Structures are given as C-alpha cells and as structure tokens.
Amino acid sequence: MTTAPEFPRVHIATDHAGMELSAHLVGHLRAKGYEVLDHGPKTYDAQDDYPSFCINAARAVIADQEAGTAALGIVLGGSGNGEQIAANKVKGVRAALAWNLSTAKLAREHNDANVVAVGGRQHSVEEATAIIEAFLAEPFSNDERHVRRIGKIATYEATGEVVE
C-alpha cells in the first residue's frame, strides 16, 4: 500500500514517440491518486511539433506552483532531450532529463526539479514508470548549498546577472 502522493497534481506532455508511455502513465498515476492533466497531443502524428505541448505543461506547473498548488511535470519523447529543452524555456522551470532511478531522485533532492523528462524509446514501460515514480516521490532536501545554487540560477534567469 502506498501513501498519498506528496504532489497530487501532475502535468504531462509528450511527442509522438512517447504517446504509448504517456497513456500508460496517465492511467497508472491516476490509479495511485495523482490528479493528472494531459497537455497532449491528443492524436498520433509522426510529424508533430512537441515544443507547444511541453511548454504548455511546464507553464501549467509554474501557474499551479505560483497559485500555491503542489504540482510537478512530466515531458516525454523519444530521447527526452528536446522535450527537456522546451520545458526549460519556461521561466521558473527546472526540467531534468532522468535516465535511471538515481538521476530522477537527485533531480528532486539536489535541484528541486519541477519537471522530469524521460525518453520513451530509451526504456521499457516498467523502467520509465519506476523513474517517474522515483522523481514524484523524492522530496527536495532544502540543504543550504542546494538552495543557494538554485537561487543563483534563478537570479541569472531573472536578471542575466551571474552570481559568483
């Protein structure tokens, strides 16, 4: 028996290469008690342009967080690289490409990542599900060094100033 999820709202987006994994995750996470909002695509198109889907999911994570609602995001693709890049263009997003349990946990623990990117063509459904679950379950450590480093990134994002 699992405990209630710390982040009950999850925003998810994909490209055509991650649609099967996305459909699985939507059902799987809802069954675990998460509120999952799917930002698309709705139909398979091998020529789709994933940036809008991923940016919209990332924007929704930030909007929820700014409104005081606990939320995290998931972006999926063949490799997860382009989807991570797109999500990271949204101010306030810290999207991490996770390829195993350790990188998923460290993204949350050390970087307070609020979006995870996973490559649907890089993992079995079971592996990808475990990576996503590890990301969603891991809390941020709040260690001073990590808070300080994230603050420096946020300062650069907001002002263009590089803080030493």
Name the catalytic one among 11, 39, 83, 123. 83
Nearest Cα to Cα of residue 135 among 127, 144, 124: 127
Q: Would you mind telling me the total number of residues written for the chain in this entry?
A: 164
Sequence letter at residue 81: N
Verify whether residue 83 is a known catalytic residue.
Answer: yes
**Closest among 149, 138, 118 to 7, alpha carbons compared:** 138
d(CA 54, CA 51): 5
**CA 57/CA 127 separation, integer angstroms:** 22
Is-cis flag, bond preceding 41, omega within 30? Answer: yes
Kindly name the residue from 16, 110, 127, 146 that is annotated as catalytic: 110
Question: What whole-number distance in Å separates Cα of residue 89 and Cα of residue 56?
Answer: 11
Within 13 Å of residue 143, how many CA atoms lie on the same side as its CB? 9
Query: Is 146 annotated in the active site?
Result: no
Report, as residue numbers or ranges, the catalytic residues. Answer: 83, 110
